[in-house]
Amino acid sequence: MNVYTPAELGITAGDVLALDGVKFYDVREEPFRVYGLYDYKNQPEFRRVPEDVAAAASPAVRSMARLNSGGRVRFCTSSPYVAIHAEYYAVSPNHVVPMTVVMGFDLYAARAGRDSWCAGYRPPKGTTSSTPALSMVKSVHGEKNANGEYELTLNLPLNGGLRRLFIGLAPDASLSRRADYRIERPALYYGSSITHGACATRPGMSYPSLISRSLDVNFINLGFPGACHAEDVMMHYLASLDCSVFVYDYDHNAPNAEVLAATHEKGYLTFRAAHPETPVVMVTKPDFHYRNPSDTTRRDVIYTTYQNALRRGEPVLFVDGSQMFTGELAEDCTVEGTHPSDLGMSRMADAIGRAVAFALTMEGGRK
């Protein structure tokens, strides 16, 4: 594989330049493995959905498909530090989304058989959405495996799109491929900005990422902020993907219950036609208000899709979002009444994760 120096990459960050002999590697090359992104070795930029599919769905999906939510790089190394050099081509700042998910990364290391948080790559002071590249370094801590290496996962920005990403390691450090997930066939998530990860404080706190670490299952996050509408082209694309379980988190972005009724079951049936045995988990919105009659109506629409599937004998589960943000600290589960805080993401991961775990025991989920 190719090796790059800081000078060759145009790195100017002082803490990275201070690393004696640091070697940078392109994550598109082996032994790195990139998860959650479309055809990453052959695309000029990292993206979640093919350009033609995204463009056919809507201008919003075309824009949001460039954001790297759910993208991960996995590898093993003996290096005491991991530096990164990220070149951005798309970012989506938002008044309720912190820069730690717009341009930041977080690093997880295996510990006692499960990935645990190791380090956060926080954009330095003065970073703006027009900053073209960032270089950062963090120390690694955790358990080493029998080969004397840390087993690492680097989560890419939820609201940022990368053109290139390089990882810098100590000059004498080993570098090898990390083992597969326990369940390598991905769990597939489709939904709104909540599915995408808004408003988690860092990439690893989106609910699909939390479930992935809990169950050691690969995943693909196709959440599209404001743009989850179950378009025919998008549902056919979802149906073309191989997955162990499909989490159908479509509710929020339908403008009203009538549109949801016209599209929800139709979208489900498109996926089901291509995946007769794959378990499907249907999820309703977590920011549920009984005083708002439309929330109950929307939930009933999705429950009808679920019951119809049950009557046909199809492998489906239903997760009632109204039960996620309840009890103690219920009012702290969102940032502004809609998008989950980290606490809300944890509540969602608990509820949806139980359904995903059960789905993976079903016949279609085991294949």
Q: Both tokens of residue 125?
A: 């002071």
Using CA atoms, how far apart are residues 197 and 220, in angstroms rounded to an integer?
Answer: 12
Q: What does each C-alpha distance from 186 to 48, 230, 278 come to in angstroms?
A: 14, 20, 12
- The mean per-residue pLDDT over the stretch 342-360 comes to 98
Instruction: With beta carbons less than 8 A apart as the criterion, state whether 207 and 345 touch.
Output: yes
Residues comprising the chain, all counted: 367
Share of the chain above pLDDT 90, in %: 90
| CATH code of domain 183-366 | 3.40.50.1110
- H or E, element range at 220: strand 217-223
Q: Both tokens of residue 229?
A: 């509408």
Q: How would you classify the pairing of strands 175-176 and 72-77?
A: antiparallel
Supply the pLDDT for residue 210.
Answer: 99
CATH 2.60.120.260 domain position(s) in the chain: 6-176
Q: How confident is the model at residue 313 (pLDDT cuts 50, 70, 90)?
A: very high
- The mean per-residue pLDDT over the stretch 197-226 comes to 98
Q: Across the chain, what does the average pLDDT equal? A: 96
The pTM is what? 0.96
Supply the pLDDT for residue 291.
Answer: 66
Torsion of CA 283, 73, 366, 306, to 10 degrees: 10
CATH 3.40.50.1110 domain position(s) in the chain: 183-366
Tokens 């990882």 locate to 167
Tokens 């977590």 locate to 286
Indicate whether 365 pLDDT > 80.
no
Indicate whether 230 pLDDT > 70.
yes
- The mean per-residue pLDDT over the stretch 249-255 comes to 96
- The mean per-residue pLDDT over the stretch 208-231 comes to 98
- The mean per-residue pLDDT over the stretch 137-151 comes to 96
CATH superfamily of 6-176: Galactose-binding domain-like (2.60.120.260)
Q: Which residues contact 91 (CB under 8 A, 6 or more apart)?
A: 102, 103, 129, 157, 159, 160, 161
Q: How confident is the model at residue 193 (pLDDT cuts 50, 70, 90)?
A: very high
Supply the pLDDT for residue 130.
Answer: 85
Supply the pLDDT for residue 290.
Answer: 66
Supply the pLDDT for residue 355.
Answer: 99
Share of the chain above pLDDT 70, in %: 99
pLDDT single digits (tens) 35-51: 999 999 999 999 999 99
3-state per-residue secondary structure call for 158-191 = CCEEEEEEEEEECCCCCEECCCCCCEEEEEEEEE
Could you tell me the strand order of the sheet in which 81-91 lies? 23-26, 160-169, 81-91, 133-139
Collapsing DSSP to helix, strand or coil, 222 comes out as: strand
Supply the pLDDT for residue 350.
Answer: 98
Collapsing DSSP to helix, strand or coil, 67 comes out as: coil
Indicate whether 215 pLDDT > 70.
yes
pLDDT single digits (tens) 75-130: 999 999 999 999 999 888 877 788 899 999 999 999 998 999 999 999 888 887 78
Indicate whether 367 pLDDT > 70.
no
Pick the closest to residue 156 from 111, 248, 221, 79 (CA basis). 221
